[in-house]
Each structure stands twice: as structure tokens, then as C-alpha cells.
């Protein structure tokens, strides 16, 4: 059966039902679209919250990538960066002929090209999507750069569904290169803020450091930005570290040694390890990574690494 030209008639399949997947599911379901989802946590100890959320908004959960691909006209892949190619491979055998596959993942241009080869080779239509800022504030309206042969055809259909999508290039890999190069800076700044602010706190010079930063960069609220960076990395450091490893691969593909990106990935993963140890409280508990003052989280780190 041919894929409908009306995107509101599509059956949407979400690969990944984490933060991004759930937000997209909510916004698409509000428009009456049929949505199914698949996540590696289903069937495990962490499945209950996903199942409750899906039941609450009318999302059908599938137990395998093949099941999801077999029913979906339009698939959005929103998994961790390291899984971008493998989920495409898992879906390929059951893809609908001409079905759309939008790769939301923060993967290198090379990874996007490998995923595209798998999807297009199986009769699907692969389009890369580069998400240009954090999803939660803007939700489905998050700026989205598209790339690949099908980007110009898919773009107006995505806009009709509420996405803030625009075509960056017909060449596959350009959109992800923009995203990855931006992430060198953004994710690197997160890591530098955590490292720099925590070190300043250890020496008791944080106020002087913040005053100096404000003088040099008066347009940035360093207090507020610091709190936001700490919270985002504590909650999503594992995913961010995987993304930055893809950033590092992007740098390597350009012929450079990714010294900065590699260090950023290590710092993000280090914070994620502390979160897994319970340094910042129990996940889901009211106090977990919710302090409006970054100093609270820095002090927790310092107590862990330098007990008094």
C-alpha cells in the first residue's frame, strides 16, 4: 500500500521513548496521529514509567523494531548516538516500501551515511535531521535541519505536522556536520562550566570567577546558565557523552585529532557515573538535580571526590 501524501494520515513510529520520544509522541497525539513506539527499556525493570506514559496518551508500544517498522509510514529515530546505525539495520527488513525514516540522532556524517545506505537499500526513504537546540523548551518546534535526497519532499509535510523543519542541503551529512560542529562548542561549554565552576568552588573563588566572566561576557547569565548546565549533564550526561563521542568521530572524519571533544565526552560520562552512584540523590526523587543553585551540585561532587 502506498504511503499517503497527507501526513496526518500517517502511522508514526518512534524509535526510542526517552525524553525526546515522549515529547514528540505527546505533540503528535494532540493532533490525532496514530503513534507507536519501541524502546530497549521495554520489558525490563525501567519499563513501567514508559508504559504508563504511553497508556496515558494513547501510544501503542511494540516489542521489537521489526514490529514497529512493519506498521509505520513515518519513523523517527531518536535513540542514543551509538545506536543510530544499528536501529536502522534492525528496522530495514520490515520497512514499508517508500516509508519515511527521519534520523533525529546526534551522529556523525559518516554514521548518517551508513544508516541511509541501509534504509534506502531496503526501499525506505532516509532523511537526516539535525536538532539544533535542546528539545524540551520548544518541543516539536525545535529547529530542525534536514538533509539528503528526500529532504525537500519531506520538509513541507513535517511543517504541516508542526515541526520547525528546513532543508540545509540535498547532500547527506551536511546537516549533521552543522549539528556536530555546534556540539563541539555547546557540549564543551557544559563540561567546562562543570569543571571550572566546581574547581572554583573548591578554592572558594567562585564569586570572583563569576564576576570576571560577567565582565567579559555581559550578555550571559552565568549563575542561571551554570545551574542549567549542571542539571542537564547530571540528568543526561550518559546520552551527551555518547553524542560527543560521535562529535569526536566527526572531527576525525575531517582529519583532525579531537582533543577537546574527547575531553568533553570524558567529563560528561564522569558526571553520569556520579549520578548513577547516587551522588546527586536518587533518580526520580524530588531532590535529584533540581537545585536552582549550581553550588549545591558542585558541593555534592566535591564531597564525593574530596571527603572532608
Q: Where residue 56 sits, what CATH number does that domain have?
A: 3.40.50.720
The answer to whether 75 and 99 are in contact (CB under 8 A) is yes
225 and 148 part of one domain: no
Q: Classify residue 98: in a domain, yes or no.
A: yes
Q: Which pLDDT does position 89 carry in this prediction? A: 97
Answer with the one of 146, 172, 198 that is the final residue of a domain.
172
Q: How far is CA 121 from CA 95, 113, 144, 171, in A?
A: 10, 12, 25, 17
The residues, any chain, with a CB within 8 Å of residue 273's CB and separated by 6 or more, are none
Q: Classify residue 243: in a domain, yes or no.
A: yes
Answer with the one of 119, 147, 172 that is the final residue of a domain.
172
Q: Which domain holds residue 239?
A: 180-305
Percent of the chain with pLDDT over 90: 81
301 and 202 part of one domain: yes
The residues, any chain, with a CB within 8 Å of residue 46's CB and separated by 6 or more, are none
Q: Classify residue 2: in a domain, yes or no.
A: no
32 and 96 part of one domain: yes
Q: Classify residue 77: in a domain, yes or no.
A: yes
Q: Classify residue 1: in a domain, yes or no.
A: no
The answer to whether 261 and 188 are in contact (CB under 8 A) is yes
Q: Classify residue 247: in a domain, yes or no.
A: yes
- Pull the grid cell for residue 162: 508542526
Q: Which pLDDT does position 45 carry in this prediction? A: 78
DSSP letter at 168 equals E
Q: Which three-class secondary structure state does DSSP give residue 44?
A: coil
- Tens digits of residue pLDDT in 22-60: 999 999 999 999 999 999 888 777 889 999 999 999 999
57 and 156 part of one domain: yes
To the nearest whole number, what is the mean pLDDT of the chain? 92
165 and 184 part of one domain: no
According to DSSP, the β-strands at 60-61 and 74-77 are: unpaired
DSSP letter at 105 equals S
- Number of domains making up the chain: 2
The residues, any chain, with a CB within 8 Å of residue 53's CB and separated by 6 or more, are 17, 22, 25, 59
Q: Helix %, strand %, coil % for the chain, to 5?
A: 60, 10, 30
According to DSSP, the β-strands at 143-147 and 125-131 are: antiparallel
168 and 185 part of one domain: no
Q: Which residue has the higher pLDDT, 307 or 27?
A: 27
CATH number for the domain that contains residue 205: 1.10.1040.10
Q: Which residue has the higher pLDDT, 245 or 307?
A: 245
Answer with the one of 172, 193, 219 that is the final residue of a domain.
172
Residue 301 pLDDT exceeds 60: yes
Q: Which three-class secondary structure state does DSSP give residue 128?
A: strand
Which residues does residue 164 pair with via DSSP β-bridges, in sequence order?
A: 143
227 and 112 part of one domain: no
b (16+ CB within 10 A) / e for 22-55: bbbbbbbbeeebbbbbbbbebeeeeeeebeebbe
Side-chain-facing half-sphere of 44: CA atoms under 13 Å: 6
Residue 288 pLDDT exceeds 50: no
Amino acid at each position: 500500500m502506498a504511503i499517503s501524501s497527507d501526513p496526518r494520515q500517517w502511522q508514526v513510529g518512534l524509535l526510542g521513548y526517552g525524553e525526546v520520544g515522549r515529547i514528540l509522541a505527546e505533540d503528535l497525539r494532540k493532533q490525532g496521529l496514530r503513534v507507536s513506539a519501541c524502546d530497549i527499556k521495554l520489558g525490563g525493570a525501567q519499563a513501567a514509567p514508559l508504559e504508563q506514559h504511553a497508556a496515558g496518551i494513547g501510544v501503542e508500544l511494540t516489542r521489537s523494531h521489526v514490529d514497529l517498522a512493519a506498521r509505520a509510514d513515518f519513523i523517527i529515530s531518536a535513540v542514543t548516538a551509538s545506536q543510530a546505525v544499528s536501529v536502522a539495520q534492525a528496522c530495514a527488513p520490515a520497512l514499508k516500501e517508500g516509508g519515511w525514516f527521519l534520523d533525529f540522532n546526534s551522529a556523525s556524517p559518516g554514521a548518517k551515511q551508513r544508516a541511509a545506505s541501509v534504509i534506502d537499500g531496503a526501499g525506505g526513504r532516509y532523511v537526516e535531521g539535525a536538532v539544533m537546540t535542546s528539545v524540551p523548551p520548544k518541543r516539536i518546534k525545535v529547529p530542525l535541519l534536514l538533509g539528503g535526497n528526500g529532504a525537500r519532499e519531506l520538509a513541507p509535510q513535517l511543517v504541516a505536522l508542526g515541526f520547525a523543519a528546513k532543508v540545509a542541503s540535498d547532500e547527506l551529512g551536511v546537516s549533521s556536520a552543522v549539528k556536530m560542529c555546534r556540539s563541539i562548542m555547546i557540549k564543551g561549554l557544559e563540561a567546562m562550566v562543570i569543571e571550572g565552576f566546581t574547581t572554583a568552588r573548591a578554592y572558594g573563588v567562585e564569586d570572583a570567577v563569576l564576576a570576571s566572566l560577567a565582565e567579559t561576557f555581559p550578555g550571559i547569565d552565568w549563575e542561571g546558565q551554570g545551574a542549567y548546565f549542571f542539571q542537564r549533564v547530571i540528568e543526561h550526561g550518559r546520552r551527551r557523552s555518547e553524542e560527543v563521542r560521535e562529535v569526536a568521530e566527526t572531527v576525525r572524519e575531517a582529519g583532525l585529532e579531537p582533543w577537546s571533544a574527547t575531553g568533553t565526552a570524558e567529563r560528561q560520562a564522569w558526571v553520569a557515573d556520579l549520578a548513577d552512584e547516587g551522588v546527586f540523590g536518587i533518580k526520580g526523587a524530588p531532590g535529584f538535580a533540581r537545585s536552582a543553585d549550581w553550588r549545591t551540585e558542585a558541593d555534592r561532587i566535591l564531597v564525593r571526590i574530596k571527603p572532608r
